[in-house]
Amino acid sequence: MEIYHRITDQIAVVFFEPRLSMDEVDEFKAHVLPLIENLEIMGLLLDLSNVEFIDSSGFGTLISIFKKLQQNKKKLALCQMNEEVREIFKILSLDRKIRLFTSEEEAMKYFQE
C-alpha cells in the first residue's frame, strides 16, 4: 500500500492505493489515526481516485474512522471513487452517513460549512 497526505486549510487530504483490504488496514490506521488526534486538523478527506478495491475489513475501518472523527467533532468526506466502490457504499447505505463527492474541490466546500 502506498499512503501519503497533505494538509490544506486544516483538512488532511489522504491519498492511498491500490486497495483497502484486510492486509492494508493496519498500515492505513497507523497513518490516519494520528491525523485525527491532531488538534490542528478539522477534518479528513480521503481521495479514492487510485483505489481499485475495498473489502469488508476496509469498510469496517472506514466506519471506525468515521466514528472516531465524530467523537472528536470532526468531519469525514470521500472523493473521486470509482463506480464499483461507490455502488458498494450505496448498497451498504454508507452514503447516508459518510459524504461522497466527485471532486476534491467540491469536498473542500463541505468542510467550510
pLDDT tens, per residue, the chain with 113 residues: 999 999 999 999 999 999 999 999 999 999 999 999 999 999 999 999 999 999 999 999 999 999 999 999 999 999 999 999 999 999 999 999 999 999 999 999 999 98
Distance, in Å, from the CA atom of 9 to the CA atom of 19, rounded to the nearest integer, reads 27
Distances (CA, A) of 49 to 17, 78, 80, 112: 8, 10, 5, 22
Q: Hey, what amino acid is at 100?
A: L
All domains in the chain, ordered by first residue: 2-112 (3.30.750.24)
Question: Which residue from 86, 85, 82, 73 is spatially nearest to 39, judged by alpha carbons?
Answer: 73
β-bridge partners, 14: 5, 46
Q: What is the pLDDT of residue 69?
A: 97
